[in-house]
Amino acid sequence: MFWKVAGFSQPSPIEQILDKQEFTLEELLDEEDMIQECKSLNGRLVAFLRERSTVEQLIRYIVDPPADSDDPKRLFQYPFTACEVFCCEVEAVFNTLLWDEGLMALLFSFLDSPAPLSSRTAGYFGRVVSNLLLRKTNEAMQYLQANQGVLHKLAKHVGTTSVAEILKRLVGGDEQSSMLFLPQYAQWLAETPLVDLLLAQLSADSSADAQANAADILSSIAHTQPSALASKLTSTDSITALFSHALAPSHHLLVPALDVCIALVEPKRCAQAPDEAPFQEAIIRAKLEAVDAIMQ
């Protein structure tokens, strides 16, 4: 029988590992309370996790697919826990990642994999990138602005749901990111080929998932009216490309294309828009421009 002694507490397994002169990241990832200690901002644990070598290993567990013969921990537990560490949104860990061009390149190297992407690995990747866009918006956007090739890679894998969710957050298409979607980001995205890349995914050569996801993201862009990105979608070239896919011999493209057209003339944000007359007038003007572009 054991008695609880006042003033005495058993150190946690994480603390016992940190007390050792030498230990590995894997020892920490093996512990059930690893994430709870991370969320609690255990000072010594955070100091270890923020080291560049540690962040690099965490990213590799997420983006480097292991061989089928690997240890089950490497297949499932380590990638999952590594993803959870980033999702704890520890400032110091985020900063190590964002301030290191090599680490960011390693993270996005996952997009260099051939299609179809592993849905499990894409899920981990998507959660990390989405958290970066939401919690470190300026820094994440600055990286994308300096590395525009990432947009091409994201669009190439739009058929993967987790990648499509990243793009939807990037364009301000979900409730959380719409609150942080600043005009300068829409302006920059409008200057990139992102809209054209998504329209290209509506072609008959793309998979059904790619077509549906691309249409969903384009509809989300339409819902950001009035914005520079939505204005690009209503340009003559974009509308022409949209209808060329809709009227293609492969009739299954008609529904996704029409979904985008409907979104352009009925932007959802009208109901959520401020009551100020100038803003309402801007929305009405954007809708009229969209209708004119479609009718031409």
Residues of the chain with pLDDT > 90, as a percent, come to 55
pLDDT 10s digits, 202-259: 888 889 999 999 999 999 998 887 788 888 998 889 888 888 877 777 656 667 777 8
In the chain, count H helices and then E strands: 21, 0
**Residue among 97, 188, 172, 78 at smallest CA distance from 136:** 97
Question: What's residue 271's pLDDT?
Answer: 40
Which has more confidence, 247 or 288? 247
Confidence of residue 131 (pLDDT cuts 50, 70, 90): very high
Q: Examine the pLDDT at 3 and tell me if it is beyond 60.
A: no
Which has more confidence, 261 or 278? 261
pLDDT 10s digits, 145-189: 999 999 999 999 999 999 999 999 999 877 666 555 677 888 999
Q: Examine the pLDDT at 133 and tell me if it is beyond 50.
A: yes
Residue 10: DSSP 8-state: P
pTM of the model: 0.85
Query: 106 near 59, Cβ under 8 Å?
Result: yes
Q: Examine the pLDDT at 89 and tell me if it is beyond 80.
A: yes
Question: What's residue 268's pLDDT?
Answer: 58
Query: 134 near 169, Cβ under 8 Å?
Result: yes
Question: What's residue 9's pLDDT?
Answer: 56
Residues of the chain with pLDDT > 70, as a percent, come to 81
Question: What's residue 14's pLDDT?
Answer: 92
pLDDT 10s digits, 177-200: 655 567 788 899 999 999 999 999
- Residue 45, both tokens: 């644990």
Contacts 24+ apart (CB under 8 A), 165-168: 165/126, 165/130, 166/126, 166/129, 166/130, 166/133, 167/194, 167/198, 167/217, 168/216, 168/217, 168/220
Confidence of residue 8 (pLDDT cuts 50, 70, 90): very low
**Distance between CA atoms of residues 78 and 97, nearest Å:** 18
- Cα–Cα distance list, 54 to 28, 34, 47, 155, 215 (Å): 11, 14, 10, 30, 39
89: CB partners within 8 A, 6+ apart: 131, 135
DSSP calls for 99-124:
T-HHHHHHHHGGGGSPSSPPHHHHHH
Query: 173 near 217, Cβ under 8 Å?
Result: yes
Provide the mean pLDDT of the chain.
84
Rg (CA), the chain: 23
Q: Examine the pLDDT at 289 and tell me if it is beyond 80.
A: no
